[in-house]
Amino acid sequence: MKICVVTPYFRAETAWLQQAHDSVKAQTLPAHHVLVCDGSEPAQIQEFQGSHIILQRNYQDYGNTPRLIGSYHAITHAADAIAYLDADNWYLPTHLEALVSFAQERDLDACSSARMLHRLDGSPMMKCPHVNARPLIDTSCLLVMRRAFPHLIAWTLFPQAVAADTDNRLWRFMKSVGARLDFLDSPTVAYRTRHLVHYSLAGEAPPPEAVTRRDLAGTNYH
């Protein structure tokens, strides 16, 4: 099975993007990493293995257009499954193997995992109570199997006003057209959080960089 992992980025922290890439290379089930530079200076990743697509403009839609472009690249390279990973997150080593096995055992078209919240320094904080597919998923937790590839056009179907929520809208769209979906309650994605609400839930003082959802309006990534 050929798996591709699509990562869009715009002015990403190089060390964080390096960690994301290293986590893809460390998967127990091999994957081809597709980086998509969303109109910023291309990142210099040490010992990079994969494809690096350089876009000449920034699409300003939270990485959704680059995700679709990366997905098309994966499809033309005979991918059997496509996963996604944001540039500030990373996978635990068994993430892809667990999701692929879960999808194959249940004959799913797509599936999503739970995630672990991490502080900005990378240290673990708590399992995320919100991403449980009832109704929320996260982009970095999503795996789409070949049968559902035609639905990936939905990355760019929604207006800019709701672009930050496209992962959940894509999930609901696939469900509405009859795709078989399920959730694996295993936090195999490390989510580096800036969200004030997560620090409040953990009973911790938020870092100076903490943001609310409203703060993110008009930005490119979240």
CATH number, domain containing residue 172: 3.90.550.10
**194 vs 212: CA distance, rounded Å:** 8
Could you tell me if residue 222 is inside a domain? no
Let me know: does 128 contact 191? Beta carbons within 8 Å: yes
Residue 86: Cβ within 10 Å count: 25
75: DSSP letter: H
Could you tell me if residue 221 is inside a domain? no
Residue 216 pLDDT greater than 60, yes or no: no
Non-local CB neighbours of 55 within 8 Å, separated by 6+ positions: 36, 37, 38, 39, 66, 69
In the prediction, which pLDDT does 215 show?
44
Q: Domain of 18?
A: 3-216
Element holding 72 (H helix, E strand): helix 64-76
Could you tell me if residue 10 is inside a domain? yes
The model's confidence at residue 205, banded by pLDDT at 50, 70 and 90, is confident
Cα of 86 vs its chain's centroid, Å: 4
Could you tell me if residue 132 is inside a domain? yes
How many domains are contained in the chain?
1
**27 vs 22: CA distance, rounded Å:** 9
pLDDT digits (tens, 9 = 90+) for 115-151: 999 999 999 999 999 999 999 999 999 999 999 999 9
Could you tell me if residue 197 is inside a domain? yes
Could you tell me if residue 107 is inside a domain? yes
pTM of the predicted model as reported, rounded to 2 decimal places:
0.94
Return the exposure string of 93-130: e unless at least 16 CB atoms fall within 10 Å of the residue's CB, then b.
Answer: eebbbbbbebbeeeebbbbbbbbbbbbeeeeebbebeb
Could you tell me if residue 30 is inside a domain? yes
131: DSSP letter: -
Could you tell me if residue 177 is inside a domain? yes
